[in-house]
Chain A
Amino acid sequence: MAPQGENRTDADLTGEPGSSLHGVTGHEVFPYINMDTVPEEATDLKGRKFSLPVDSEHKAKKLKIYSFARPHMLTFHLSWISFMTCFFSTFAAPPLLPIIRDNLGLTKTNIAHAGVASVSGSIISRLLMGTICDLFGPRYGCAILIMATAPAVFCMSIVSTVDGFILVRFFISFALATFVSCQFWMSSMFNGQIVGLANGLAAGWGNAGGGITQLVMPLVYDLIAKNIGADNFTAWRLAFFLPGCMHIVMGLIVLAIGQDLPDGNYSSLKRSGDKVADTFFKVLQYGVTNYRTWIFTITYGYCLGVELTVDNIIAQYFYDRFDINLTIAGTIGSTVGLMNIISRPAGGLISDMAARRFGMRGRLWALWTLQTIGGVLCIGLGLLGSLGPSVVVLVIFSIFMEAACGATFGIIPFISRRSLGVISGAVGAGGNVGSILTQVLFFSNPSYSMEKGIMLMGVMAIACTAVLFLVYFPQWGGMLCPPSKATEEDYYGGEWNEAERAKNLDRNSLKFAENSRSERGRSRQEQTSDSAPSTRV
């Protein structure tokens, strides 16, 4: 068995590709973690005491939400607030669109293009952020991104043409890559057993920024237009100074008091051994050739994608269809994003509970059920013609869709151990691609009314979720097919070729395979408890 210390150093500090989003749920395994609890008076490498119980890697084993203690809980709050800030600024324009469209003379096609632009920038940035976090640390990744996109937010105050508006929304959307740094940071700070909850809470509360902005921006606009008395075409421009300043403030705070690891920052920790355990191209190959990556890209595209699309269009939809004022339309629109606070972690929990009983098959069925119900409710939303029922259906629909997002990331860590970072980045980017597709197909055509677009979006969500039936894990089965005689070692070990196995490079994958036996579900767990353990060590 390879020495524990060597494994730990490899994976954590030398930027092993494929580890970027490790530990996205509680079932993610760190084979090199010693699960023994270090006593409460544990100190970090510099002798400072930890306020939470930690494991041998100094990752916290408990989550105390009301605490801001360094380094774990402070990191938790820093990362979800900075992610929330980025969502806030990306979706700050939609609630003010009724004013902006009059100021800039936008047509429906222009607005749709701007909506597409607002989710396309993050495709590239999410894919890159994983590597940046591996190499430079999540603190730099997050802070650099936030402060570099602040100028784009300020530019929104000075746009006067259609193209300018679209370009600015494109550049602001680069900020959404803080999702990756947020999840990576959580995984570095929290032990594998609670990292799922930490990640789900941070992602959910961050996503809620899309809802908070729909509440806050119309209020800020009202304040400036009525109380300060600016012209309305000037007031919305002034309102954009709020997200811009939030960017600067959060960036500075993260730089000043954030830290990459429980023991300190990457740059100030000694790195022992600089060998990269894997090559970028191999990791990319195994991520790309695994068909499950693409299935989940499609389904996440119609889960997060639908949520992002709704963030973009819903305030306008209510304002135009039901003739209510801007602030109330924004309030209704905000409920979609705000539901994230509970529904995304709830989705992760539902997935975990299903897995405890039924294993991976339970996770797949849970995801399919949540997302399909979300799609049905979306169709209903498009068909309803009155305000009250529309609001009710909107709220319930957002709960189900966001729970599906949380449930998706309960399955992603199991698709591959070697290429986890690439797959997570691809799936995250797929969410944005789904949003773009939806907005181009259904919301940029002037001959489609918005309610028809929403209905068709629901139909497409149901259709794209159906591809989940094609997912099959040989060791755990698929939705309709039982498992074969293959084992977890065969699946995860199969990502390494003979030469690599000879060098024992696959040791982490095999440990992960052993620990992932929990995905067999309760009935098969009892059968396998006395089966022979893996012969490879």
Chain B
Amino acid sequence: MASYGSALLHIFGIGKEICLISFKRSSKGLKLEFRVPWCRHRVYSAAFLPPPFRIIPAKLPILHAARRAFETATVLLTFVNLSSYAEGGVLFSSLDENLVVTADIPGQNNTDGPRIRTARVGEDHLIIKWALNSTLSGLGIDKIYMTVNIRLCFAPISQVERGWRKTNDDLHKDKTCSIAIASQKYSTDGNVTDWIIRKNVPGATYFVRAYVTDVDGMQLAYGQTTDNLKTSNLIVIEPITGRHVSIDIASAIFSIASVGALVGFLIGEFRKMK
């Protein structure tokens, strides 16, 4: 975030000219430029991609006003340029459900068929087993599978009227699976994870999904504990309220203190007036 940071500082005029870093497009790719306050007319630049780095001090005698305008334009362009580099992510609909994932809650009877189970935050564990679908084993599909990301995902019922949990086919923008459970190396035999439900998990209805990613972090396949409509085999998680008796008591004491002090003051002044 350094480029955003110093560019932002420059725009808001705070700590002017601490160091202006800007990106410029050139035929060689991305160019990084540094301007430092003790050397106003010197621009350090580095051809950025790929390594090796080179820092070339360049003397650029520029008129002060023109430099100002140039810097402002560069900064604004920085944002525009950088934003255009945001890539679209992998589309979920292009992924295959190659993994088989199950999530069990120890201490609860596991019966077949669509059911909704309840778990409590901070107390219950989820035992998550994932493995490659047995019909696909030995076919070499998993040669490039590197990591498995297990995530807790919101079921549709918990996404109603809550745009911040919306499902989007573009996995870069998808917010369904925002709670991370574990990240493990992929292995052909699969793995078992024991996860105690963290206290900051909100109360909602969930299912578990595991994404397989390659060496660059791009999703290749997935597996989930529910069906395609995301209606079966869901887990309702009961949250903490966040309230404590001590907070309640402190609240009450402070409130009474406030009103009491006010009344006391007024009575005191009323008496003095008399």
Pairwise interchain contact A148-B262, C-beta atoms closer than 8 A: yes
**What residues of A have a CB within 8 angstroms of the CB of B266 in the complex?**
140, 144
**Which residue of B is nearest A386, CB measured?**
B83
Tell which of B78, B162, B203, B259 touches A147, judged by Cβ atoms closer than 8 Å: B259
What is the CA–CA distance of A128 and B247 in the complex, to the nearest angstrom?
A: 33
Assuming the contacts A98-B164, A108-B163, A386-B79, asked whether A151 and B255 have C-beta atoms less than 8 A apart, the reply is: yes
What is the CA–CA distance of A268 and B272 in the complex, to the nearest angstrom?
A: 10
Given contacts A157-B247, A233-B200, 10 further A-B contacts (CB under 8 A): A103-B241, A109-B161, A144-B266, A158-B248, A233-B199, A248-B258, A251-B258, A267-B269, A319-B164, A386-B80
| 18 A/B residue pairs, CB under 8 Å, sorted by A | A108-B162, A140-B266, A147-B259, A147-B261, A154-B251, A154-B252, A157-B247, A157-B251, A233-B241, A234-B240, A234-B244, A237-B242, A247-B258, A251-B262, A386-B84, A388-B80, A389-B83, A449-B163
A236 CB within 8 Å of chain B? yes
**What residues of A have a CB within 8 angstroms of the CB of B203 in the complex?**
105
**What residues of B have a CB within 8 angstroms of the CB of A388 in the complex?**
4, 76, 78-80, 82-83
**What residues of A have a CB within 8 angstroms of the CB of B259 in the complex?**
147-148, 150-151
Assuming the contacts A151-B258, A231-B240, A320-B163, asked whether A241 and B250 have C-beta atoms less than 8 A apart, the reply is: yes
Pairwise interchain contact A158-B251, C-beta atoms closer than 8 A: yes
Measured CB to CB, the closest approach of chain B to A315, in angstroms, equals: 12
**What residues of B have a CB within 8 angstroms of the CB of A450 in the complex?**
163
Contact with A along B244-274 (1 / 0, CB 8 A): 1001101110110111011001100100010
**What residues of B have a CB within 8 angstroms of the CB of A247 in the complex?**
258
**Which residue of A is nearest B8, CB measured?**
A391
**Which residue of A is nearest B199, CB measured?**
A231
What is the CA–CA distance of A489 and B144 in the complex, to the nearest angstrom?
A: 88
B204 CB within 8 Å of chain A? yes
- Of the candidates A150, A267, A385, the one having the most CB atoms from chain B within 10 angstroms of its own CB is A150
**What residues of B have a CB within 8 angstroms of the CB of A155 in the complex?**
251, 255
Assuming the contacts A105-B204, A320-B164, asked whether A236 and B242 have C-beta atoms less than 8 A apart, the reply is: yes
Measured CB to CB, the closest approach of chain A to B118, in angstroms, equals: 15
B160 CB within 8 Å of chain A? yes
Contact with B along A141-172 (1 / 0, CB 8 A): 00110011011001101101000000000000
What is the CA–CA distance of A190 and B242 in the complex, to the nearest angstrom?
A: 48
A446 CB within 8 Å of chain B? yes
What is the CA–CA distance of A244 and B255 in the complex, to the nearest angstrom?
A: 9
Assuming the contacts A233-B199, A233-B240, A392-B76, asked whether A150 and B255 have C-beta atoms less than 8 A apart, the reply is: yes
**What residues of A have a CB within 8 angstroms of the CB of B54 in the complex?**
none
What is the CA–CA distance of A248 and B162 in the complex, to the nearest angstrom?
A: 36
Count of interface residues, chain B, beta-carbon cutoff 8 Å? 43
Pairwise interchain contact A238-B241, C-beta atoms closer than 8 A: no
Q: Is the interface of B mostly helix, strand, loop or mixed?
A: helix
**What residues of B have a CB within 8 angstroms of the CB of A471 in the complex?**
none
Pairwise interchain contact A108-B161, C-beta atoms closer than 8 A: yes
**What residues of B have a CB within 8 angstroms of the CB of A386 in the complex?**
79-80, 83-84
B190 CB within 8 Å of chain A? no
Measured CB to CB, the closest approach of chain B to A422, in angstroms, equals: 28
What is the CA–CA distance of A148 and B258 in the complex, to the nearest angstrom?
A: 7
Assuming the contacts A105-B203, A158-B247, asked whether A233 and B76 have C-beta atoms less than 8 A apart, the reply is: no
B64 CB within 8 Å of chain A? no
What is the CA–CA distance of A105 and B240 in the complex, to the nearest angstrom?
A: 12
Tell which of B202, B247, B258, B262 touches A237, judged by Cβ atoms closer than 8 Å: B247
Tell which of B164, B244, B254, B273 touches A267, judged by Cβ atoms closer than 8 Å: B273
A102 CB within 8 Å of chain B? yes
A255 CB within 8 Å of chain B? yes
A74 CB within 8 Å of chain B? no
What is the CA–CA distance of A319 and B175 in the complex, to the nearest angstrom?
A: 12
**Which residue of B is nearest A155, CB measured?**
B251
Contact with A along B157-169 (1 / 0, CB 8 A): 0001111100000
What is the CA–CA distance of A98 and B72 in the complex, to the nearest angstrom?
A: 33
B243 CB within 8 Å of chain A? yes
Measured CB to CB, the closest approach of chain A to B197, in angstroms, equals: 13
**Which residue of A is nearest B166, CB measured?**
A320
What is the CA–CA distance of A320 and B84 in the complex, to the nearest angstrom?
A: 19
A387 CB within 8 Å of chain B? yes
A232 CB within 8 Å of chain B? yes
Assuming the contacts A388-B76, A446-B161, asked whether A234 and B242 have C-beta atoms less than 8 A apart, the reply is: yes
